[in-house]
Copies of this chain bind each other. A is one copy, B any other.
Amino acid sequence: MMGLTRQDFERRDAEDPLRLFRDQFHLPEGVVYLDGNSLGALPKRAQERLSRVVGEEWGEDLIRSWVLHDWIGLPERVGDKIGRLVGAGQGQVVVGDSTSVDLFKLLAAALSLRADRTVILTEQGNFPTDVYMAQGLIELLGGRHELRSVSTHELSAAIDDDTAVVMLTHVNYRTGALLDLDALTEAAHAHGALALWDLSHSVGAVPVDLDQAGADLAVGCGYKYLNGGPGAPAFVYVARHHQSAIRPALSGWMGHESPFAFEEVYRPAGGIRGLLVGTPSVLSLIALEEAVDLHLEAPMTLIRAKSKLLTQGFVDLVHQECSQSGLRLAGPEEADLRGSQVSLRHPGGYAIVQALSRQGVIGDFRTPDILRFGFAPLYLRHVDVWDAVRTLRDIMATGSWDRPEFRQRASVT
């Protein structure tokens, strides 16, 4: 059997309908960047607009920019744009705060919408901050609730009439495994529970249709596949039919019906704006808006098709080139069952990731033995996949990763 060659990957690039998007990003020379699932690359237009907003809007127009340049409208405007990426009709998504804080808002809302129920159900191995925020809320509420974690295949069966909310991350941050958003939402609803989806590792890379799935609540990260910049604000989705029933627990002035009336009593804004809290981070929102605008130019079907070709190409090549390396696939074998990420396992994972980085192939490591590689369809080439795996092959074949300098832990990513 003929193996895959670099020419195969070059041909994929030549045929890639998204190939022109790469030029929209600032990318370092000589680097294969497979960590866009942790921090997305810089869109050139975000850099340009930030420069303009800082110099002209902040610098020249100052306070008047809130109206003149509609800074005040940013959280809802960018929210609606993100809504188009996740299948949310207008008026259901708003941007502000971090994913963690947004999770708190939605968990508090869920527990109040299902006040007679006590369980937050989640998947074992969900992203830690999701779990931590639930633990903090439960403790704050006096311990009347319970966070229950079950394995993936037990999820559906674990939902019962005491489940207030099923809190799940669509794409697992360690393995890249994709949950069935539609089926699990339906399973939650069958028992009267709410479905809260964390889309941090999906938005911008994996198709999501929140409205069609009937999802109740969702959050997502702005700085991974969305390319909004380091620490970009997150977004929240609240299905329209729940909005009027929610009294925001984080009841800040930006979520007030009339923020500039400076009333003495909090009255939540009707609609999704009630989920806002404090003054939004304008600079971060500006960068995120440009990044989202860029995503909206690429059809999600093409993004998903390329994403699957990238991840499957990587998996196929690892099988072909690294079969003796001791590396094992950590996630699904089938491209349909994973997000835009491939994870491998190896006891020397940390050092291997460092050694790869030294050779210009940037992935990241997740304890205890996971090598993560994210594939951002808008700026990665298929030849990047080839080059990355060949570098990995060389490192494994020569054992060059197994050095003290690579084993020394310093990473915070």
Using a CB–CB distance below 8 Å, which chain A residues touch chain B? Answer: 26, 28, 31, 33, 35, 38-39, 41-42, 46-47, 50-51, 54-55, 58-67, 71-72, 97-101, 104, 108, 128-129, 131-133, 135-137, 139-142, 149, 223, 229-234, 247-254, 256, 259-266, 277-285, 287, 357, 362, 364, 366-367, 410-413
Contacts and interface: CB of A to CB of B under 8 A. Distances in A.
A340 B148 CA distance: 52
15 contacts: A39-B58, A42-B58, A50-B283, A51-B51, A67-B410, A101-B250, A104-B250, A128-B262, A131-B264, A132-B256, A140-B141, A229-B283, A231-B282, A231-B285, A233-B281
Instruction: Kindly name the residue among A61, A128, A223, A282 whose own CB sees the greatest number of chain B CB atoms within 10 A.
Output: A128
Contacts of A263: 128
Contacts of A41: 59, 62
A256 B129 CA distance: 9
Contact of A230 (B149, B283, B367): B283
A58 B288 CA distance: 13
Contacts of A250: 100-101, 104, 133, 136
Contact of A266 (B136, B229, B266): B136
Contacts of A231: 279-285
Given A50-B50, A132-B252, A101 B97 contact: yes
A278 B98 contact: yes
A226 to B, nearest CB: 13
A97 B99 contact: no
| Copy count, this protein chain | 2
A135 B38 CA distance: 36
Contacts of A252: 98, 100-101, 129, 132-133, 136
Contacts of A364: 63
Contacts of A281: 230-233, 281, 284
Q: Which of A55, A135, A284 has the most CB of B within 10 A?
A: A284
- Nearest 9 CB-CB pairings of A with B: A98-B278, A136-B251, A100-B252, A100-B278, A230-B282, A129-B253, A231-B281, A132-B266, A26-B59
Contact of A367 (B63, B247, B262): B262
Contact of A67 (B135, B367, B412): B412
A251 B135 contact: yes
Most chain B CB atoms below 10 A, which of A38, A39, A263, A282? A39
Contacts of A248: 136
A50 B39 contact: no
Contact of A282 (B50, B98, B229, B259): B229
B97 A253 contact: no
B39 A63 contact: yes
A277 B264 CA distance: 28
A294 to B, nearest CB: 15
B136 A249 contact: yes
Contacts of A72: 412
A309 to B, nearest CB: 23
A251 B139 CA distance: 10
Given A50-B283, A139-B251, 20 more contacts: A26-B55, A28-B59, A39-B66, A41-B59, A46-B54, A64-B357, A97-B101, A98-B279, A99-B279, A100-B254, A101-B101, A101-B252, A137-B249, A141-B141, A142-B142, A149-B264, A231-B279, A231-B280, A231-B284, A234-B278
